[in-house]
Amino acid sequence: MPVQWAGLSPELLLAVDRDGGERLCAQLERQLRDAIRSGRLQSGERLPSSRELARELGLSRGLVQDCYTQLQAEGYLVTRVGSATRVAACAQVEQAPKAPPQPPSPHHLADFRHGVPDLGSFPVSDWLWATREAARTMPTSDLDYGDPRGSSALREIVAGYLRRVRGAAADPAHTLVCSGYAQGLALTLRVLARAGVRVVAYEDPGGPDTAMAAADAAGLVAVPVPVDESGLDVRELDATGARAVIVTPAHQWPTGVVLAPERRHALVEWAARRDAYVIEDDYDAEFRYDREPVGTLQGLAADRVISIGTVSKSLAPALRIGWLLSPPALTEALTDLKHIADRGSPTLDQLALARLIESGRYDRHLRRMRTLYATRRTALVDALAQHAPAVRLSGLAAGFHAVAHLASDADEERVVTGARARGVGLYGMSACRASGVADPPQLVLGFGNVTDRGIAEGIAAAADLLQPART
pLDDT in tens, the chain (471 residues): 455 555 555 778 888 898 888 999 999 999 999 999 988 888 888 888 889 999 999 999 999 999 999 999 999 999 877 778 899 987 655 555 555 555 556 778 999 999 999 999 999 999 999 999 999 999 999 999 999 999 999 999 999 999 999 999 999 999 999 999 999 999 999 999 999 999 999 999 999 999 999 999 999 999 999 999 999 999 999 999 999 999 999 999 999 999 999 999 999 999 999 999 999 999 887 888 777 778 999 999 999 999 999 999 999 999 999 999 999 999 999 999 999 999 999 999 999 999 999 999 999 999 999 999 999 999 999 999 999 999 999 987 888 999 999 999 999 999 999 999 999 999 999 999 999 999 999 999 999 999 999 999 999 999 999 988 764
Residue 19 lies in a domain: yes
Number of domains in the chain: 3
Residue 45 lies in a domain: yes
Looking at the fold, whether 290 and 190 belong to one and the same domain comes out as yes
Residue 418 lies in a domain: yes
Residue 105 lies in a domain: no
* List of E strands, 193-256: 199-204, 221-228, 231-232, 244-247
Looking at the fold, whether 384 and 450 belong to one and the same domain comes out as yes
Alpha helices for 74-170 (secondary structure H) = 124-137, 152-166
Looking at the fold, whether 207 and 351 belong to one and the same domain comes out as yes
What's CA 368's distance to the chain center, in Å? Answer: 22
Looking at the fold, whether 153 and 277 belong to one and the same domain comes out as yes
Separation of alpha carbons 433 and 403, rounded Å: 14
Separation of alpha carbons 289 and 432, rounded Å: 25
Residue 381 lies in a domain: yes
* 3-class secondary structure, 25: helix
Residue 149 lies in a domain: yes
Looking at the fold, whether 406 and 341 belong to one and the same domain comes out as no
* CB burial readout 138-150, b (16+ within 10 A) else e: beeebeeebbbbb
Last residue of a domain, one of 100, 133, 153: 100
CATH of the domain at 398: 3.90.1150.10
Looking at the fold, whether 332 and 396 belong to one and the same domain comes out as no
How many other C-beta atoms lie within 10 A of the C-beta of residue 122?
14
Last residue of a domain, one of 313, 333, 359: 359
Closest CA to 344 of 335, 352, 353: 335
Looking at the fold, whether 294 and 150 belong to one and the same domain comes out as yes
Last residue of a domain, one of 359, 393, 419: 359
Query: Which pLDDT score, from 0 to 100, does residue 415 have?
Result: 97
Instruction: Please measure the distance between the N-terminal and C-terminal CA atoms of the chain and give it in whole angstroms.
Output: 58
Q: What is the DSSP letter of 232?
A: E
Separation of alpha carbons 86 and 68, rounded Å: 10
* 3-class secondary structure, 259: coil
Looking at the fold, whether 257 and 202 belong to one and the same domain comes out as yes
Looking at the fold, whether 280 and 394 belong to one and the same domain comes out as no
Residue 471 lies in a domain: no
Looking at the fold, whether 281 and 144 belong to one and the same domain comes out as yes
Looking at the fold, whether 350 and 409 belong to one and the same domain comes out as no
Looking at the fold, whether 35 and 132 belong to one and the same domain comes out as no
How many other C-beta atoms lie within 10 A of the C-beta of residue 34?
12
Separation of alpha carbons 37 and 41, rounded Å: 8
* CB burial readout 180-189, b (16+ within 10 A) else e: bbbbbbbbbb
CATH of the domain at 178: 3.40.640.10
Residue 51 lies in a domain: yes
Domain that holds residue 78: 1-100
The amino acid present at 45, given as its one-letter code, is E
Bridge partners, residue 323, by sequence: 177, 309
